[in-house]
Amino acid sequence: MSDPVPMEHHEKMRIRAAAFRATRVYPGPVGELVSRELLSWEDFGYRLGGNRLVMELVDQVMKTPQPEAAGTKRPDAA
């Protein structure tokens, strides 16, 4: 088994961005849990052998559209 490898700066920033976005994409306890887990990975700062799931989560959070704010209308909505 190889030693853990430190994450590069851009990887840590992407995880941090996903952590803050998670609370907007998934409001409530689910978003808070996802955010905390991602921040823990970013804080730890190492790529572990099984980090594929974490990076898939980051991709999912970053691709998921944010829900529209309550009470706001899109300009193109009739």
Whether the per-residue pLDDT at 52 is higher than 90: the answer is: no
- Tokens representing 13 are 């920033």
Whether the per-residue pLDDT at 72 is higher than 70: the answer is: no
Instruction: Count CA atoms within 13 Å of residue 65 on its CB side.
Output: 3
Question: Which residue in the block uniquely carries the two structure tokens 């961005």?
Answer: 17
pTM strictly above 0.95: no
More confident residue, 8 or 70: 8
Whether the per-residue pLDDT at 35 is higher than 90: the answer is: yes
pLDDT in tens, 53-62: 889 999 999 9
Alpha carbon 31 to chain centroid, angstroms? 9
3-class DSSP assignment, residue 37: helix
**What share of the chain in percent tops pLDDT 90?**
55
Whether the per-residue pLDDT at 25 is higher than 60: the answer is: yes
